[in-house]
């Protein structure tokens, strides 16, 4: 990072995983420096993919080992523009579900092996890896395994568009109501992204209205949403323990699984 000749480092809040500073370059540009407990190449890779798709993300100035330097971004909130941008990003599709590498969701490995079938990908890469989480009760593990043996394939479409998604879209990963940070990118059914975005208080109505103007959700999304929310709830169980298992049980109950 010394090649950038950064000065005037000031610590800023960076959540529970990374240490974060704001600093200045010698030519007066403000930057954000993150020190992470992982190789930041995976995060830089995701930001580059989103930027290539036209999503509003901070530029990557340097990525080396555990240090990531990003341009500092700001401006007035523009949830309308963000909703449109996310919809356009979702319009960037692949021929299968997954990503060219495993990456991270929080501090956890997010497996991304390619699958041609969406329900198969969702169970194998988004549910099964978390079934051994210490905070997940055995009865919920059994119910999830049973869901993977048939109910998921009957509920979820086999081949929806394999959209490029941010992967961890919630209000905490939106800066100033207009910039996306901390991605966990992959190609997936866009409904997975939006199901998580609706959790934890969701995003403002302007975001949803703008998204729907660009690409309305298909019929049946309300029925599928509880199943898709299982993934991020399992991630929270794995991260934070059994206190999040109730959310998993609630979704399984709502689905009758």
In DSSP terms, 179 is beta-bridged to: 175
* Cα-based angle 207, 105, 81 (whole degrees, multiple of 5): 20
Q: Which of the following is catalytic: 80, 168, 182, 189?
A: 168
SS3 194: helix
From 244, 105, 222, select the one nearest 173 (Cα to Cα): 105
**Beta carbons within 8 Å of 76's beta carbon, 6+ residues apart:** 176, 177, 178
Neighbours of 45 (CB within 10 A): 18
Q: Which residue has the tokens 């609706």?
A: 198
**Closest Cα partner for 72 from 101, 117, 99, 33?**
33
Please state, as a whole number, how many other Cβ atoms lie within 10 Å of the Cβ of residue 66.
14
> Is-catalytic flag, 168?
yes
The tokens of 217 are what?
A: 């959700």
Residue 43 contacts residue 36 (beta carbons within 8 Å): yes
Helical residues (DSSP H) of 74-117, grouped into ranges: 79-90
Report, as residue numbers or ranges, the catalytic residues.
168
């Amino acid at each position: 990072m010394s090649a950038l000749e950064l000065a005037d480092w000031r610590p800023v809040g960076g959540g529970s995983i990374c240490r974060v500073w704001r600093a200045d370059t010698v030519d007066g540009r403000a930057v954000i420096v993150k020190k992470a407990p992982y190789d930041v190449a995976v995060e830089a890779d995701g930001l580059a993919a989103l930027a290539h798709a036209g999503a509003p993300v901070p530029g990557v100035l340097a990525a080396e080992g555990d240090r990531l330097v990003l341009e500092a971004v700001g401006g007035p909130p523009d949830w309308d523009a963000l909703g449109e941008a996310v919809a356009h990003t979702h319009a960037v599709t692949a021929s299968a579900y997954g990503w060219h590498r495993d990456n991270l969701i929080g501090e956890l490995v997010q497996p991304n092996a390619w699958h041609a079938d969406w329900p198969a990908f969702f169970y194998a890469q988004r549910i099964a890896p978390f079934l051994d989480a210490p905070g997940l009760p055995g009865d919920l593990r059994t119910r999830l395994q049973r869901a993977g043996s048939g109910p998921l394939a009957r509920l979820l479409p086999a081949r929806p568009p394999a959209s490029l998604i941010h992967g961890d879209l919630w209000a905490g990963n939106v800066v100033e109501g207009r910039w996306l940070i901390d991605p966990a990118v992959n190609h997936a059914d866009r409904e997975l992204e939006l199901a998580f975005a609706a959790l934890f208080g969701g995003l403002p109505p302007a975001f949803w209205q703008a998204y729907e103007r660009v690409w309305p959700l298909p019929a049946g999304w309300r029925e599928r949403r509880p199943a898709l929310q299982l993934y991020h709830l399992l991630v929270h169980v794995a991260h934070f323990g059994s206190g999040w298992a109730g959310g998993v049980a609630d979704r399984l109950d709502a689905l009758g699984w």
